[in-house]
Amino acid sequence: MTTILFFLLPLALVILGCSTHGGVQMLSDQNDVIKTINTLFVETDSRNWVGVKGVFADSVLFDMTSMVGGESTRLSSQDIVDAWDQGLKPLQAIHHQAGNHLVTINGSESDAFCYGIASHYLPNPKNLNTRTFVGSYNFHLSKHNGGWIIDKFKFNLKYIDGNKELTGGTQQSR
């Protein structure tokens, strides 16, 4: 069975329009880009700020204008991590879910898109404990030291549901 698969994989790549070496590398790069994006969300949910900083370039074109207005801005990875740490610290739980990844590889650069949902949870006396952000992300990544790092981050808000003032000063944890 293994021998059959060994011979069928190159044939499948040729049929799909990929050369054996180039096609496998492209698939590997696409997988690594998706892994980098997923790592961003998993490490954010774990509040592992060293891990979050590790997926960002030193300088990131950062765009959350669909939520807060203004213009995109260039931020250091440390500034992003510090802002997220401060903003998410009051929450009891954070959960990101990403999917429908579309990845384009162009040599040592990549553009990626995915849908995303972020759920925030903080028990409070009004029992309005959750806030959910639904939207999509656009990323640009560059290959760096054999891995992929995010140098452009854009969130495109579709809607917010739930308690929009979940971390507001009037809402205290139980």
Nearest to 68 by CA among 51, 83, 85, 50: 83
The Cα–Cα gap between 158 and 67 comes to: 9
Asked if 9 and 21 touch (Cβ cutoff 8 Å), the reply is no
The Cα–Cα gap between 92 and 129 comes to: 10
Helix/strand/coil percentages in the chain, nearest 5? 35, 40, 25
Please tell me the predicted confidence (pLDDT) of residue 20: 55
One digit per residue, the tens of pLDDT, for the chain of length 174 reads 555 545 555 545 544 555 556 789 999 999 999 999 999 999 999 999 999 999 999 999 999 999 999 999 999 999 999 999 999 999 999 999 999 999 999 999 999 999 999 999 999 999 999 999 999 999 999 999 999 999 999 999 999 999 998 874 434 333
Which residue type, as a one-letter code, is found at position 149?
A: I
Domain architecture of the chain: domains with CATH: 2-162 (3.10.450.50)
Sheet holding 93-106, edge to edge: 73-76, 56-63, 147-162, 130-144, 109-121, 93-106
Give the DSSP per-residue string, 151-163: EEEEEEEEEEEE-
Distances in whole angstroms, Cα of residue 79 to Cα of each of 44, 93, 104: 14, 22, 28
